[in-house]
């Protein structure tokens, strides 16, 4: 998703209880109202104010369940002027009135009635079906694009001879991306086919599958953007008389890349809307899993209380582990922690087995240790299946979630700049014999400026939020300098400078995405 849209989502979240308009949000993003609305709709799949309304109603629904606040109080909290207006909007959004929702449809808490379970199952089935539909559409289009490339790769007999292997490679890479998405889709599709797994308390495999899907779409978008970029660069190097026919395939790849970006944006916005519910539910499920292990450990320790004194060291070892688990803050939990606990329990279990060999009649007294270990291993598997983002969310909450988003944003920025630098160096080498010493020196200055931009982006990954805007402006300044220098070189080289011109435009796009490019308000 466009960085500007990401930032606007954060602005909306931070001011969700304040008066928000398209004008105030677009002004905060330094865009015209018209351009911002168009960009937001394209990325998020919804209008700005419709998205704001949905977020407010989602938060209001959570407050209805999590608090005892009056309906009017909640309505006023989220910008509604009257009780009646809130009820109309809420019913249009959920299908029930706020009072009915509070009474019957708590999809954040654990369902207790059949009606609640059916409602929760419907909500999760619908969201899962939407994700499957979006991804299947992307997979189908990717395969159709690969077939289109193979069908049209030799339309121009004069140009095709040089590009046959290239187009086959691009088609294979596109097919490979489609296969990656197909494999990533399987876990969530399997969950959708098992109704007993779709409940208000989201099952571990479904939540993990959703995060894996998002990560795989992110990877697919990156792959497609790389394919599209390399294709456009290759076309820009072609002879002018061949470019139009080659552009036919290039445009198809660009459209696919764009669709993948939109799909990723929709998934991310959807997941963001569910993040609080998902994280809270995972936290509760994690705690319950630990509590089950603690219970098994206590049962084992109780059984050992009736054993001869020679087993007291085993009892003490089990109790020590149980106490550590019982008082363990959920934010300190990790799969590694449980693996170390299991290693300790394995030693205790091994000692118990040795004692049983000497006293077989005591076997029934020590069997609880094995049951304790089995439950611990299940709990360890649970945490091992979770992504780092989910585990971190137990402690860090929304603020750190946004912080991780910022780190990813600037990590992606640095990566984009490294990729551009790589291609710029490659183009400079290809043009070496055609360039003057002045042009070569200009390229060297470009490399220096790009390296500085990379360092600034890497620095921003770990800086405080107060410094981020200034760093963005600094990076954009270097991008503008590079763009100006590349444009001059492209003009000097004439037809040989087409690829340089293409790279210059990519540098400009990158600067605009940062939101700090001079003249961006008019873009």
Q: How many CA atoms, within 13 angstroms, populate the side-chain half-sphere of residue 398?
A: 10
For 210-240, how does the pLDDT look when each residue is reduced to its tens digit (9 = 90+)? Answer: 556 666 777 778 778 888 888 888 888 887 7
* Orientation of helix 157-192 relative to helix 240-304, angle to 10°: 20
Question: Please, which residues have CB within 8 angstroms of residue 63's CB and are 6 or more apart in sequence?
Answer: 69, 74, 77
pLDDT below 70 — which residues of the chain? 1-3, 6, 43-45, 93-96, 103-131, 155-162, 187-215, 265-282, 307-310, 331-332, 334-335, 383-412, 459-470, 513-523
Token pair for residue 356?
Answer: 């049983």
Q: Are 241 and 208 in contact (CB under 8 A)?
A: no
Q: Give the list of residues 6+ apart from residue 394 with CB closer than 8 angstroms, or none.
A: 279, 282, 283, 286, 330, 331, 333
Report the run of H or E that residue 65 belongs to, with start and end.
helix 48-66
For the chain, which residues make up each domain, given as ranges? 3-105, 284-385, 410-523
pTM value?
0.52
pLDDT digits (tens, 9 = 90+) for 6-53: 678 888 888 888 888 888 888 888 888 888 888 887 766 678 888 888
380, two tokens: 């360890």
Give me the pLDDT at residue 396, please: 46
Q: Cβ of 418: how many Cβ atoms within 10 Å?
A: 16
Six-digit token pair at 292? 């089950």
User: pLDDT value at position 423?
Assistant: 83
CB 424 within 8 A of CB 447: yes
Per CATH, the number for 410-523 is: 1.20.120
Superfamily per CATH, domain 3-105:
Homeodomain-like (1.10.10.60)
CATH class label, 284-385 = mainly alpha
Encoding tokens for residue 438?
């002045």
pLDDT digits (tens, 9 = 90+) for 435-456: 999 999 999 999 999 988 888 8
Per-position DSSP letters for 178-233, written without gaps between them: HHHHHHHHHHHHHHHT-GGG-SSS--HHHHHHHHHHHHHHHHHHHHHHHHHHHHHH
pLDDT of res. 47: 82
Structure tokens at 242: 């061949």
pLDDT at position 146 is 92
């Amino acid at each position: 998703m466009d960085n500007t849209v990401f930032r606007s989502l954060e602005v909306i979240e931070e001011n969700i209880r304040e008066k928000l308009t398209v004008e105030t949000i677009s002004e905060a993003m330094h865009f015209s109202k018209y351009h911002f609305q168009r960009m937001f709709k394209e990325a998020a799949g919804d209008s700005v104010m419709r998205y704001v309304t949905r977020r407010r109603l989602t938060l209001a629904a959570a407050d209805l369940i999590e608090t005892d606040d009056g309906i009017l109080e909640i309505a006023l909290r989220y910008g509604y002027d009257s009780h009646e207006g809130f009820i109309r909007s809420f019913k249009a959004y959920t299908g029930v009135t706020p009072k009915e929702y509070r009474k019957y449809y708590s999809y954040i808490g654990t369902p207790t009635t059949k009606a609640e379970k059916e409602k929760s199952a419907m909500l999760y089935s619908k969201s899962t079906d939407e994700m499957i539909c979006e991804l299947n559409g992307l997979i189908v289009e990717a395969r159709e694009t690969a077939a289109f490339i193979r069908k049209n790769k030799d339309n121009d007999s004069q140009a095709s001879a040089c590009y046959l292997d290239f187009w086959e490679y691009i088609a294979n890479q596109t097919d490979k991306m489609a296969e990656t998405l197909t494999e990533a889709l399987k876990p969530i599709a399997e969950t959708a086919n098992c109704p007993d797994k779709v409940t208000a308390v989201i099952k571990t495999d479904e939540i993990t599958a959703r995060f894996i899907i998002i990560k795989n779409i992110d990877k697919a978008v990156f792959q497609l953007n790389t394919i599209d970029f390399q294709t456009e660069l290759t076309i820009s190097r072609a002879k002018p008389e061949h470019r139009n026919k080659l552009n036919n395939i290039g445009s198809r790849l660009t459209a696919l890349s764009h669709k993948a970006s939109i799909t990723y944006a929709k998934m991310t916005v959807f997941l963001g809307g569910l993040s609080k519910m998902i994280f809270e539910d995972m936290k509760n499920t994690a705690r319950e899993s630990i509590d089950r292990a603690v219970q098994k450990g206590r049962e084992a320790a109780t059984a050992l209380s009736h054993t001869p004194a020679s087993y007291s060291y085993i009892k003490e070892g089990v109790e020590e582990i149980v106490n550590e688990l019982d008082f363990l803050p959920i934010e300190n939990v990790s799969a590694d922690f449980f693996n170390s606990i299991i290693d300790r329990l394995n030693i205790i279990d091994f000692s118990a087995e040795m004692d049983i060999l000497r006293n077989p009649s005591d076997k029934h007294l020590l069997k609880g240790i094995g049951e304790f270990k089995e439950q611990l291993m299940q709990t360890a598997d649970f945490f091992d299946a979770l992504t780092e983002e989910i585990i971190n969310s137990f402690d860090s909450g929304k603020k750190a979630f946004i912080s991780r988003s910022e780190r990813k944003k600037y990590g992606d920025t640095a990566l984009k700049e490294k990729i551009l630098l790589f291609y710029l160096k490659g183009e400079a080498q290809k043009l070496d014999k055609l360039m003057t010493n002045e042009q070569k020196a200009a390229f060297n200055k470009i490399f220096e400026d790009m390296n500085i931009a990379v360092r600034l982006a890497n620095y921003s990954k770990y800086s405080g939020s107060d410094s981020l805007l200034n760093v963005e402006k600094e990076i954009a300044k270097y991008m503008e300098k590079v763009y100006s220098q590349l444009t001059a070189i492209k003009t000097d080289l004439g037809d040989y400078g087409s690829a340089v011109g293409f790279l210059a435009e990519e540098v400009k796009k990158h600067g605009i995405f940062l939101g700090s490019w001079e003249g961006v308000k008019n873009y």
